[in-house]
Structure 1
């Protein structure tokens, strides 16, 4: 009866639950691992990604829910459910996902390992010689790093690290004629590879390190009876939402550093454990971490599928995965190796990654670091590549006496430590470094190079949807603009003054920013389309984003739909709007594109009665984007570049190989091609430099 009541409540709500929508997104990623048209190692990659995604989901989304539960705060989900019933619904759905994830791994992937030149084996499946090699590896490498941590009446409960594989070993001793069980924890060192590798003639054997330890566990417990030894893994709350200080005078860097330490001690929100664990161990863990069966996930195979990356990236198989085509020149850049400083004086350039390389931006920054005419560089940084060329260029610029201002966002989730480290390097080199802006997260992506050319100073501006990360620029789809247009340059200069000082500009001409006014501007654009529709004028909205969650904007979409505005949404991940509901959203359609590249670009199209307004930038339609982040969307003024972006959206709508159609109930179905339908795969098509020019078709 209660289950039916909860289901009815979810169905009645005019919003889709954010967290349930997120899990449905991970199902679309899992669908890539099930796709037999993909190569084996690509399928392994996607199932490893589902595991990483799920870890973040528990740390952040489930962690956030537990902030409310543990702090006694009230919370009503978009589905209309309060904290406790929603917790049950969410964790039940997560259990269903994990079950399907391991069915895919066990039934569809494991049986074909050997056919692809590899295998995952236990110690008992090795030859005698191979077992001796593994024994030697344990003795010389693993054993010295293992530290048993006992928990009993004399020893406190040890701090177990987040997401590390751990053995919970129950031992029994007889003291004063009375048998007594106790638990000892053995965490597997994180600096060892997940697998011990053995080369055979026909394949490479990967032996999970935990299976080697399991066979040798007695060496850690001499003269003690081992009752059981069970492998488990915990996930801790990594969300700081309710902890973040609003104290504007606090030493913000130190605050972040202290919170990075608390992440290691956060409350446990998930326990993964192998089948048939010791009941004594389970009682200890549940009581200690205040969890119940909903938090416990029984794993019937290899635990933590992220470990598959060691196989995927193995040098033996490096040529077996997806082969990315060579990047093509942007339509707005006629040839490679041009002098960008000269070219940008007369032309704007639109980059569409990964189809267009990020090289024009990085090489221009590197040249600016050495150019004696360059006076200064200003940049926002959210995420960087390992051994970043961007950091190297900024360091070189500072060494060459140029003014360098960098805003490092130290709240970039899971990149906090790296950004702090890189920021400190730049500070030591003489750069002016800002570590975020108090309660706001700086998510916008901007770069400005100031260059003195004769009597004139020219500002070269780069602004886009993606990070200054050369590695992810080859994996994420993003859009960015290079320009010397004075209006963009003025807006960006003003914006830097806002985020580095206390400036409050009245308005920007080509920028739409948050937290000040982005929601208001987007709502006004939606309302303009609704007014046009009511007047019988042509109208339409097409938006491509990562996530759609803000209720105020969703309500405006509903009103515009009722007014007759066709609204086409391309939302990769979380989507809280209900498309196609009678008398609410009949003119709204939603699709999600999930495939070889991570769809990361944000594009906003408003028909505007035949004079389209098109924006790109860093912001999704989320509460955090509007209220808790510093974001910017930029208006695309150049008519040729506007046509190019409209065509990007057009082909996104036409894609029928990576697309999932969202139904009114929040579920998704894979789009299939008809017998005579042309195949449109945007992850291949955009590598054709001229594909944007094929269609000038209207979007709406």
Structure 2
């Protein structure tokens, strides 16, 4: 096979900057006036939410590396300081677009549609009177001004909360103090008054004199803090649940990684906040207009169907439609494998029907499943509980370290344990990211196992929004592999050789490399060859190098990478035959499908793993 030699800096794109370009594509959807208005507002909210998470995890990690000054570089050759500088420059450009979009695009369009997000100055005297009464009754009692002065240190500011920085002076003594007023998180962001919606922080800012009686308020400025939210659980933690709970408590006090500050703030206000929060100048982002646009999702929740896409009604797959009984679900799977594509096909009529059949069919004796992220309306959890109550073996492997869902998963774990479900938490050093369910059923010819393997979480809410695939099968070798994997995760032992499954961190990378090389060999021999990959992120350097080598052998390679791609496509003598696209649209592309064609043979894999070192080395996939 041809060896390609190109300087490493030109071989790979920067992972963090690739992420930021994905966020830019989301912002483009918010800017697309061909979409229904509230769909555009939804994408504006998603863009803001993505940026929050990016700073909490990726930027936080780079800041730690920069502070440690270890001389490390990323795979593309950048130092942490260089990466942080490039990130700041690009995000600054996107924030300018975001502010312009809100001021000139979304806000005027919302006003024309009867959703007028207004300032206090734009309200009538009567509307301001109503807001004053609302402030006194619903807001004032829960506000707490925290002044800074002798014996009063700079207050703790929680992550992602909005605050008003206030400079107040005493007319009698000319003494001046800084104070912080937190915008309450338990209230709606937009206060309705008449036909208008006024941001909560604007209401509080207008009525601040009621909090600082007898004082003169010389300045008020809105700011928001983002803190480091990443954490690691020790490999030798004795009680994983307790260790995760401890880390969650520590997360609240992570280092400040970003300060967002209203662009109207004075240099004096800027200096007070930088000093009080202990941030550097390059961590401050001045924002023009509305801060924390993730809250625009509250506007999307308004019942205005004419401003949204027509609601999608998932199709019930024909073979599922003819099932009339719980036992009929398993009869249909036994007749042949079923592949379901969500949200185009119904999650409720497929996977949830499968889980409910396990609880209702008297011939089912056991169910085992994994939970990474689920929802309150999930039928899976209730089915597990029903199985336990019926005396069936009911096992649920709950991943406590699913980022930002840790607390919810702890609550699910305790609820299921109290109902009699056997709950397992996996390993401190490995996340359980695989989406798999195993049902054991007693039939006339003995015990038979039925399996679901999916690309998406068992989450009824996201199943309506995320594009995913799931395979239902009674294939004995696949079922045996899934059973072995469950036994490995819940028990104590070394994993056996898997028959058909590619399992990380054991065999997945090696097998995928074998498939890429097999296709490259076919191309070198003049036979048909093609590789198609659909995934969220392509980051793993080993896999990327193999794809470059396959390209050098002449293999046409099509990659759909929704968010991150470190591979450089279309580079002469490196990746000339590789084409990369990113699909961003109404539904979040989430499935992972790897398709290899060599000669007359095709091999297709689907599953939970992206091609990233974390997935291939530090997760069960």
Tell me the TM-score normalised to structure 1 length: 0.85
Match of 1:322 in 2: 309
Match of residue 260, structure 2, among 240, 255, 272: 272
Q: Which moved more, 1:213-222 or 1:165-174?
A: 165-174
Given that 2:223 and 2:262 are in contact with CA atoms closer than 8 Å, whether structure 1 keeps it comes out as yes
Q: Using the alignment, how far apart are the partners of 1:311 and 1:11 within structure 2? A: 46
Q: Using the alignment, how far apart are the partners of 2:356 and 2:142 within structure 1? A: 43
Mapped pair 1:466 → 2:456: yes
1:119-161 per-position Cα deviation (integer Å, ceiling 9, x unaligned): 1011221122221111111001100111111222311222211
Match of residue 353, structure 1, among 327, 342, 347: 342
Q: Using the alignment, how far apart are the partners of 1:60 and 1:527 within structure 2? A: 35
Count of residue correspondences = 613
State how 1:277-676 maps to structure 2 within 5 Å. 277-315=265-303, 317-330=304-317, 333=320, 335=322, 337=324, 339-359=328-348, 360-454=350-444, 456-631=446-621
1:505-562 per-position Cα deviation (integer Å, ceiling 9, x unaligned): 3311210011112111111111111112222222110000000001111011111111
Question: Per chain length, whose mean CA-contact separation is higher, i.e. which structure has more relative contact order (CA < 8 Å, sep 6+)?
Answer: 2
Match of 2:3 in 1: none
Given that 1:332 and 1:348 are in contact with CA atoms closer than 8 Å, whether structure 2 keeps it comes out as no
Secondary structure class of the residue paired with 2:286: strand
Q: Using the alignment, how far apart are the partners of 2:7 and 2:127 within structure 1? A: 55
CA drift at 1:297: 1.4
Q: Using the alignment, how far apart are the partners of 2:612 and 2:9 within structure 1? A: 22
Given that 2:530 and 2:596 are in contact with CA atoms closer than 8 Å, whether structure 1 keeps it comes out as yes
Match of 2:212 in 1: 221
Given that 2:513 and 2:543 are in contact with CA atoms closer than 8 Å, whether structure 1 keeps it comes out as yes
Given that 1:267 and 1:289 are in contact with CA atoms closer than 8 Å, whether structure 2 keeps it comes out as no
Secondary structure class of the residue paired with 1:345: helix
Given that 2:484 and 2:496 are in contact with CA atoms closer than 8 Å, whether structure 1 keeps it comes out as no
Q: Using the alignment, how far apart are the partners of 1:73 and 1:165 within structure 2? A: 34
Q: Using the alignment, how far apart are the partners of 2:306 and 2:386 within structure 1? A: 35
CA drift at 1:74: 4.0
Match of residue 124, structure 2, among 108, 123, 127: 127
Secondary structure class of the residue paired with 2:599: helix
Match of 2:242 in 1: 254
Mapped pair 1:58 → 2:55: yes
Q: Using the alignment, how far apart are the partners of 2:25 and 2:552 within structure 1? A: 30
Q: Using the alignment, how far apart are the partners of 1:236 and 1:367 within structure 2? A: 44
Match of 1:114 in 2: 111
Match of 1:654 in 2: none
Match of 1:185 in 2: 180
Change (3 A) 1:73 1:439: farther
Match of 1:45 in 2: 42
Secondary structure class of the residue paired with 1:511: coil
Secondary structure class of the residue paired with 2:58: helix
Secondary structure class of the residue paired with 2:220: strand
Match of residue 238, structure 1, among 229, 249, 256: 229
Q: Using the alignment, how far apart are the partners of 2:485 and 2:409 within structure 1? A: 21
1:325-346 per-position Cα deviation (integer Å, ceiling 9, x unaligned): 3222336656465621221121
Given that 2:233 and 2:244 are in contact with CA atoms closer than 8 Å, whether structure 1 keeps it comes out as no
Q: Using the alignment, how far apart are the partners of 2:390 and 2:320 within structure 1? A: 30
Root-mean-square deviation (CA, aligned residues, Å) is 1.9
Match of 1:670 in 2: none
Match of 1:682 in 2: none
Q: Using the alignment, how far apart are the partners of 2:71 and 2:346 within structure 1? A: 47
Q: Using the alignment, how far apart are the partners of 1:99 and 1:26 within structure 2? A: 14
Q: Using the alignment, how far apart are the partners of 1:535 and 1:11 within structure 2? A: 29
Q: Which moved more, 1:16-25 or 1:155-164?
A: 155-164
Given that 1:332 and 1:350 are in contact with CA atoms closer than 8 Å, whether structure 2 keeps it comes out as no
Q: Which moved more, 1:506-515 or 1:320-329?
A: 320-329
CA drift at 1:319: 5.0
1:605-643 per-position Cα deviation (integer Å, ceiling 9, x unaligned): 000322100000000110101111110xxxxxxxxxxxx
Q: Using the alignment, how far apart are the partners of 1:41 and 1:467 within structure 2? A: 26
Q: Using the alignment, how far apart are the partners of 2:390 and 2:527 within structure 1? A: 57
Secondary structure class of the residue paired with 2:235: coil
CA drift at 1:24: 0.5
Secondary structure class of the residue paired with 2:503: strand
Q: Using the alignment, how far apart are the partners of 1:25 and 1:10 within structure 2? A: 25
Given that 1:380 and 1:445 are in contact with CA atoms closer than 8 Å, whether structure 2 keeps it comes out as yes
Q: Using the alignment, how far apart are the partners of 2:198 and 2:48 within structure 1? A: 20
Q: Using the alignment, how far apart are the partners of 1:267 and 1:167 within structure 2? A: 20
Mapped pair 1:145 → 2:173: no
Q: Using the alignment, how far apart are the partners of 1:454 and 1:130 within structure 2? A: 74
Given that 1:237 and 1:263 are in contact with CA atoms closer than 8 Å, whether structure 2 keeps it comes out as yes
1:588-615 per-position Cα deviation (integer Å, ceiling 9, x unaligned): 1101111100000011000032210000
Q: Which moved more, 1:58-67 or 1:330-339?
A: 330-339
CA drift at 1:67: 2.4
Q: Using the alignment, how far apart are the partners of 1:156 and 1:186 within structure 2? A: 14
Q: Using the alignment, how far apart are the partners of 1:30 and 1:458 within structure 2? A: 49
State how 1:30-41 maps to structure 2 within 5 Å. 30-41=27-38
1:58-109 per-position Cα deviation (integer Å, ceiling 9, x unaligned): 1111111122234444431233111212211111211111111211222222
CA drift at 1:12: 4.8
Secondary structure class of the residue paired with 1:361: helix
CA drift at 1:259: 1.2
Given that 2:127 and 2:194 are in contact with CA atoms closer than 8 Å, whether structure 1 keeps it comes out as no
Given that 1:330 and 1:350 are in contact with CA atoms closer than 8 Å, whether structure 2 keeps it comes out as no
Q: Using the alignment, how far apart are the partners of 1:551 and 1:513 within structure 2? A: 19
Match of 1:78 in 2: 75
CA drift at 1:443: 0.6
Tell me the TM-score normalised to structure 2 length: 0.95
